[in-house]
Structure 1
Amino acid sequence: MGQVLDRIEQFADEIRADGAEGDRLMRLTDRSAKRLREAGAIRMLQPKSHGGLEVHPREFAETAMAIGAMDGATGWVTGIVGVHPWELAFFDEKAQDEVWGEDPDTWMASPYAPMGVARPVDGGYILNGRWSFSSGTDHCRWVMIGAAVGDQDGKRLMPPEVLHVLLPRSDYEIDQDSWDVVGLRGTGSKDLIVRDAFIPTYRTISADSVTDGRAWRDAGRTETLYKFPFSCIFPLGISSSLIGIAEGALACYINAQKERVAVTGVPIKNDPYVMYEMGAAAAEINASRVSILETVDRFWDKTEKGQEITFEERAVGRRTQTAAAWRAVSAVDEIFARSGGGAMHLKFPMQRFWRDAHVGLTHAIHVPGSIYHASALTQLGGEPQGGMRSMI
């Protein structure tokens, strides 16, 4: 068990209990956020030079899984907000000092989708736009978001040019009424609004440089962690937390079935059909965990040896990660359908894990179509183009 998870485990019951309150508040409770902060959960991929831990990505993934099994929203925020320090390591040192100089536990929200436009001006850009799905944003003091570069009239350049940019909390507004959903309610993934914010050039980075693996060279980074492929590490926290949610659902199910008796008077543990499905679901969820972690370990070993992770390997890795998410949630469906009427009560966490799992599966990183297509085409000797190369 990792150092962060050792600290978090002490408050597991507290985090589980706060899950229902976070669901009601539509954000993490202050107490859960405090526990993540004190444990260093968001500093796992942060540079040691700025108070980070620089852990192996496997430890990051296993921690997100474990927290997700306690409470889905808390695990989700760990996985998403926790990956942003990895990218900030590529920004200008001045930007890193602004974010972490006074407090290395400063959190950054996202998203990366270029929903706004950055108009070039002397020394930087003027940014306007609205961004959706900013997970954990109420507990963050900065945001790292995607922005399309525009012309002097604010129209997007063609072909598109995308930046990832940093803004302090004073430069954007959180729409508190924008998040009222069926699952992952506690993530507080609200909309952000930016109006005429000035972004100095040093607080920007080319999105392409991050996704194609140039950013670590440009930043002079030599650590294995920062040479790791973006297309593996960015989805890692998201999918790992989702697998943790599935593990949490399975744990709830097993606990509820121990003493349950069916309407026929037969103890559930004596029903061979239910026992089969429980065993099958457990095997599928474990297979999801193992497949993701195996990819991480293999990519790490190659990166550490200075070997390139090819496009084909990255595509297959994304296929594995996406399939793992779908497999785990399908397994949750099988056990949820056999949980009995008691599982439907809002006072029990089983229904919340089920809701959280399905909302987590809708994240863009889990859409299988282009990923499966690109991986298969590459293995057949083809060369995916355009959008089929996205996030690979």
Structure 2
Amino acid sequence: YILNGRWSFSSGTDHCGWIMIGAALGDREGNALTPPQVLHVLLPRSDYEIDPESWNVVGLRGTGSKDLIISGAFIPTYRTIDADIVLGGNAWQHAGRTETLYKFPFSCIFPLGITSSLIGMAEGALACHIAAQKERVAVTGIPIKEDPYVLYAIGEAAAEIAASRTGLLETVDRFWDKTERGEEVSFEERAIGRRTQTAAAWRAVRAVDEIFARSGGGAMHLKTPMQRFWRDAHVGLSHAIHVPGSIFHASALTQLGGEPQGVHRSMI
């Protein structure tokens, strides 16, 4: 294959010797195929350029998710894999691997790396908020620890963030155990798992909003970490893996005996 194009959001690319990206197949003239066909492809550092000015954002600056530019790179077939095989859960059969990790649903393990980071940000924001409020006195002269409304907000946020973490891990543990027993994780189970994962992300960030709004003006200073947690969490929530619409649609329709089609099967 010959690869050309520009790819955005390549996180951590400055530190990599190789990249794995998605590539849409075209005909010999470069026109996209219908229906679309996508491959995951591997390229060495010598085959692509990094746009150093392409990641200037309000949050998650540390991910360095810069654009890649590829022009006429040759890719041998052995460095490609059909994306549908990966998403369908059959890649392990093609590769001859039988370990649980390789048989584990891709639609569960891929979002896990992103949502777990988001929940970690929420936990960091909560810890930062609690530390700052211990000795804080409001402009009214009342210590924060005597304000029942702020205490309620902290307690509720802590519970929501903990529930997000628990829901995410419970799904992974249950899917892992089932896979290890040699049982297939059904589409309905995967859809519900994605619903749990997506809801966990939104729940955790809403909790961050509640405590950030009660952190006082000092939290707005760039010298304090609270504003960074808030910015990073919101940018993390904008990742495509956290878009709830089609996921909630698919999980509900499947539970009602329907058969989701098209975009409603995406990343499930």
TM tier, smaller? over 0.9
2:207 is aligned with 1:343: no
Task: Note the alpha carbon deviations across 1:181-235, whole angstroms, 9 max, x for none.
Answer: 1110111111000000000111000001100011001101111111100000000
SS in 1 for 2:89: coil
Deviation per CA, 1:83-121, whole angstroms, max 9, x where unpaired? xxxxxxxxxxxxxxxxxxxxxxxxxxxxxxxxxxxxxxx
Percentage identity across paired residues of the two chains: 82
Question: Which position in structure 2 is the counterpart of 1:179?
Answer: 55
Which residue of structure 1 lines up, in the alignment, with residue 98 of structure 2? Answer: 222
What displacement does 1:141 show? 1.1
Q: How big is the shift at 1:247? A: 0.3
Match 2:43 to one of 158, 161, 167: 167
1:276 Cα offset (Å): 0.2
Q: In structure 1, what is the Cα distance between the partners aligned to 2:16 and 2:239? A: 21
Helix, strand or coil at the partner of 1:346:
coil
Find the aligned partners of 1:243 and 1:313 in 2 and give their Cα distance. Answer: 22
Deviation track 1:343-370 (CA, whole Å, cap 9, x = no partner) reads 1111111000000000000000000000
Q: Which consecutive segments of 4 or more residues in structure 1 shift more than 6 A?
A: none
Of 256, 261, 266, which residue of structure 2 is paired with 1:385?
261
Cα distance in 2 for residues equivalent to 1:291 and 1:179: 32
Amino acid at match of 1:316: I
Residue 369 (structure 1) aligned with residue 226 (structure 2): no
Task: Tell me how far apart the structure 1 counterparts of residues 16 and 205 of structure 2 sit (CA, whole Å).
Answer: 29
How far apart in 1 are the matches of 2:17 and 2:224? Answer: 33
Among candidates 110, 124, 142, match of residue 234 of structure 1: 110
Q: CA offsets, 1:250-304, max 9 Å, x none? A: 0100000011000111110010000000000000000000000000000011001
**Can you give the 5+ residue segments of structure 1 that lack an aligned partner in the other structure?**
1-124
Gap runs ≥5 in structure 2: none
Distance 2:53 2:178 in 1: 45
Aligned length: 268
Quote the Cα distance in structure 2 between the aligned partners of 1:312 and 1:289: 22
Superposed, 1:31-50 pairs within 5 Å as none
2:250 & 2:90 partners in 1: Cα distance?
Answer: 22
Give secondary structure in 1 for the equivalent of 2:190.
helix
Which amino acid letter does the alignment assign opposite residue 24 of structure 2? A
What is the Cα-based RMSD across aligned positions, in Å? Answer: 0.5
Counterpart AA for 1:209: I
Instruction: After TM superposition, give the deviation of residue 157 of structure 1 in Å.
Output: 0.8
Q: Does 1:243 align with 2:119?
A: yes
> 1-side partners of 2:37 and 2:254: how far apart?
26
Q: CA deviation at 1:243?
A: 0.3
Name the counterpart of 2:141.
Answer: 265
For 1:289, what is the secondary structure of its paired residue?
A: helix
Superposition deviation, residue 325 in structure 1 = 0.1
Question: Counterparts of 2:11 and 2:39 in 1: how far apart (Å)?
Answer: 20
Whole-Å separation in 1 of the counterparts to 2:3 and 2:114:
27
SS at the partner of 2:40? strand
Separation (CA, whole Å) in 1 of partners of 2:116 and 2:128: 18
Return the match for 2:80 from 173, 188, 204: 204
| Match in the other structure for 1:288 | 164
Aligned to 1:77: none
Alpha-carbon distance between aligned partners in 1 of 2:49 and 2:158, rounded to the nearest angstrom: 43
Query: Which one of the candidate residues 9, 19, 24 is aligned to 1:143?
Result: 19
